[in-house]
């Protein structure tokens, strides 16, 4: 007999916990998460009310570790209603344009994810990845995911969602596959928040304190102004944080030869706006990506924020790179979500790799009434 609602969630390839944060916000109970990155697990543990585990998904017996973690958190696998996860996408990303074959080693991870789903057998499943998964290897991976979900008894849908339409101040595209055993799933088509969409960069980060030219900042700082002066989006981000205090507002400190380049870049510009005599170390300009040294436009949502340090994403009005907290805001992480880890670079990477929280929330909210209605409600 079908259950009346989805509740208990296990997050596979959980990373820093963006998917879980969104589903928690939508009212789900996150039972555990698993990832092979210790920095990500430290961050997940600090922000979720459950014990996650460090584990290698490629190990054949990893399901035993997951079941043990579920048990240690007070549940059994029969109580898991939903398995969610984003198998690492570097094998499918635009940075790996040569991986359009089935042979890239990271491209096997969706299959491992689905094997775990088969052994847990939840009522529903959610898979997140980059849109190129749909076309890589002539669509082989898309077809394989759908076929395997259907073979396990799931009604399945998939599609690409635009993050800025779901409460995220960032133009980020992600593909989602949803499988459900007792309903015909649909992807959400609209979102409702207490702030107007789309959210611009300025609306997302303008309350954060100014940092020095070239970068800097501290682990713990004070906001530039109180919550009453902030945008509606910022008020939402600051709702649960310690009054007047912001964490993780730090950025890479660049050498003078690097930050001299920043002042030449207009909003919306990139490395092409920098005089050639300041870019002598870029010997192969034909292979330099347009997103390098890109300055954000304050009155638009941000471009995709991946590894914002390696991308050299520049603040819209200050001559420095983005801070961890600014990138987290652009990923819709609330300010009480603190990023841990052994290094500053690790925290930057975690934020860039995460699923935007409000995008995950929108999907989670649309799934809330799936059992009761026989169809996914709009957000």
**Mind listing the pLDDT tens digit for each residue in 198-214?**
999 999 999 999 999 99
CA distances from 76 to 5, 56, 252, 311, 364 (A): 17, 21, 43, 42, 22
| 256: in domain | yes
Q: With contact defined as beta carbons under 8 Å apart, do 188 and 366 qualify?
A: yes
Q: Are residues 32 and 61 in the same domain?
A: yes
Q: Are residues 173 and 59 in the same domain?
A: yes
Say whether pLDDT at 244 is over 90.
no
Catalytic annotation present for 370 = no
Q: Are residues 42 and 67 in the same domain?
A: yes
Q: Are residues 156 and 224 in the same domain?
A: no
Q: Are residues 140 and 225 in the same domain?
A: no
| 16: in domain | yes
Q: Are residues 39 and 101 in the same domain?
A: yes
| CB-based burial label for 97 (10 Å; 0-12, 13-18, 19+) | exposed
Q: Are residues 210 and 119 in the same domain?
A: no
Residues 6+ apart with CB under 8 A from 21: 47, 48, 333, 334, 337, 357, 360, 361
Place of tokens 């996650």: 52
pLDDT of residue 291: 80
Share the mean pLDDT of the chain: 89
pLDDT of residue 379: 52
Q: Are residues 365 and 337 in the same domain?
A: no
pLDDT of residue 97: 46
Q: Are residues 274 and 185 in the same domain?
A: no
Q: Are residues 298 and 225 in the same domain?
A: yes
Q: Are residues 178 and 227 in the same domain?
A: no
Q: Are residues 112 and 128 in the same domain?
A: yes
| 349: in domain | yes
Domain carrying residue 21: 8-193+356-373
Q: With contact defined as beta carbons under 8 Å apart, do 26 and 56 qualify?
A: no
- Give the mean model confidence (pLDDT) for residues 133-149: 91
Q: With contact defined as beta carbons under 8 Å apart, do 19 and 84 qualify?
A: yes
pLDDT in tens, 17-46: 999 999 999 999 999 999 999 999 999 999
Say whether pLDDT at 273 is over 50.
yes
Q: What is the DSSP letter of 186?
A: -
CATH number at residue 31: 3.40.50.150
| 311: in domain | yes
pLDDT band for 226, please (50, 70, 90 cuts): confident
Q: With contact defined as beta carbons under 8 Å apart, do 11 and 17 qualify?
A: yes
Q: How many domains does the chain have?
A: 2
- Other Cβ atoms closer than 10 A to 265: 19
| 347: in domain | yes
pLDDT of residue 195: 94
pLDDT band for 229, please (50, 70, 90 cuts): confident
Say whether pLDDT at 341 is over 80.
yes
Q: With contact defined as beta carbons under 8 Å apart, do 339 and 16 qualify?
A: yes
Say which of 14, 50, 89, 370 is annotated catalytic: 89
Q: With contact defined as beta carbons under 8 Å apart, do 187 and 176 qualify?
A: yes
- Give the mean model confidence (pLDDT) for residues 244-251: 91
374/21 Cα distance (integer angstroms): 25
| 1: in domain | no
Q: Which helix H or strand E contains 126, and what residues bound it?
A: strand 124-129
| 86: in domain | yes
369/365 Cα distance (integer angstroms): 8
72/75 Cα distance (integer angstroms): 7
pLDDT band for 308, please (50, 70, 90 cuts): confident
Q: Could you tell me the two tokens for 71?
A: 């048990």
pLDDT of residue 288: 67
**CA-based nearest residue to 289, from 93, 103, 125, 152:** 93
């Amino acid at each position: 007999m079908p259950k009346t609602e989805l509740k208990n969630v296990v997050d596979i390839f959980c990373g820093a916990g963006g998917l879980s944060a969104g589903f928690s916000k939508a009212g789900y109970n996150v039972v555990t998460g698993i990832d092979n990155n210790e920095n990500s697990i430290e961050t997940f543990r600090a922000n979720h009310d459950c014990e996650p585990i460090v584990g290698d998904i490629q190990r054949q017996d990893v399901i035993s570790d997951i079941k043990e973690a579920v048990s240690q958190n007070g549940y059994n696998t029969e109580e898991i209603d939903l398995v969610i996860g984003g198998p690492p996408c570097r094998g499918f990303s635009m940075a790996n344009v040569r991986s359009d074959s089935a042979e890239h080693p990271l491209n096997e991870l969706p299959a491992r994810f689905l094997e775990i789903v088969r052994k847990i057998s939840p009522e529903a499943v959610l898979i997140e990845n980059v849109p190129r998964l749909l076309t890589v290897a002539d669509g082989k991976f898309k077809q394989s995911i759908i076929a395997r979900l259907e073979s396990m008894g799931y009604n399945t849908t998939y599609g690409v969602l635009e993050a800025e339409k779901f409460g995220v101040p960032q133009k980020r595209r992600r593909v989602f596959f949803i499988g459900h055993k007792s309903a015909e799933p649909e992807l959400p088509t609209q979102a409702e928040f207490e702030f107007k969409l789309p959210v611009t960069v300025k609306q997302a980060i303008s309350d954060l304190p100014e940092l020095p030219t070239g970068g800097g900042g501290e682990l713990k700082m004070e906001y530039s102004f109180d919550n009453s002066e902030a945008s509606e989006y910022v008020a939402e981000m600051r709702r649960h944080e310690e009054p007047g205090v912001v964490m993780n507002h730090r950025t890479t400190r660049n050498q003078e030869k690097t930050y001299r380049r920043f002042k030449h870049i207009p909003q919306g510009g990139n490395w092409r706006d920098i005089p050639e005599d300041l870019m002598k170390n870029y010997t192969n300009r034909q292979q330099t990506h347009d997103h390098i040294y890109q300055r954000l436009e304050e009155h638009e949502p941000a471009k995709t924020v991946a590894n914002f340090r390696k991308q050299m994403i520049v603040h819209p009005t200050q001559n420095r790179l983005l801070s961890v907290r600014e990138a987290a805001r652009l990923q819709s992480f609330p300010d009480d979500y603190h990023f841990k880890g052994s290094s500053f670079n690790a925290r930057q990477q975690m934020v860039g790799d995460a699923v935007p929280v409000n995008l995950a929330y929108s999907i989670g909210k649309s799934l809330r009434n799936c059992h009761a209605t026989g169809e996914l409600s709009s957000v």
